[in-house]
Amino acid sequence: MTTWQILHNSKVWVQHVEVASSMFARMRGLIGRRELPAGHGLLIENCGSIHTIGMRFPIDVVFLDRDWRVRRICRHVPPGRLMVWCGWLGLRALEVASGWLPLDGVEVGAKMEWQEASEQ
């Protein structure tokens, strides 16, 4: 499996990113997992909203548009939430375990980059 990274200001922001692009992988998301380690994330493609029903831990969610710009940041989304919606411009959602991702320097409109982990 290819390991991907997301960069912010040309620095690695999320080290290990798994991609959910098939319909089944997008629907399953993080359901059934006991945790998501620090440094790991799930990028859900073609996704303008998420839910946390069936999840076991809170998450932070960063919604991105087609140009990899941040459209919405949702912190501490608890398990059991029916829906978190980004809006019409959200095309992908990055889910990470709540609290570890440095979101203080990231604002709506910030540009992210995407690369294979081996390209460091």
The answer as to whether 81 is a domain residue is yes
The answer as to whether 118 is a domain residue is no
Domains in the chain: how many in total? 1
Residue 59: Cβ within 10 Å count: 28
CA distances from 69 to 8, 73, 79 (A): 10, 11, 26
The answer as to whether 114 is a domain residue is no
- pLDDT at position 72 is 92
Task: Give the start-end residues of each E strand in the chain.
Answer: 4-8, 11-20, 40-45, 49-50, 59-64, 70-77, 84-85, 92-97, 112-116
Q: What is the pTM of this model?
A: 0.89
The answer as to whether 75 is a domain residue is yes
- pLDDT at position 119 is 47
The answer as to whether 74 is a domain residue is yes
With a cut of 50, say whether residue 103 has pLDDT above it: yes
pLDDT digits 0-9 by tens, 52-99: 998 999 999 999 999 999 999 999 999 988 888 887 888 999 999 999
Confidence of residue 101 (pLDDT cuts 50, 70, 90): confident
User: Containing domain of residue 16, as a range?
Assistant: 4-100
Residue closest to 94 by CA, chosen among 53, 42, 45: 42
The CATH number of residue 36's host domain is 2.60.120.1140
The answer as to whether 91 is a domain residue is yes
The answer as to whether 111 is a domain residue is no
- pLDDT at position 57 is 94
The answer as to whether 120 is a domain residue is no
CB 43 within 8 A of CB 4: yes
Q: Which has the higher per-residue pLDDT, 88 or 44? A: 44
- Alpha helices per DSSP H over the chain: 23-28
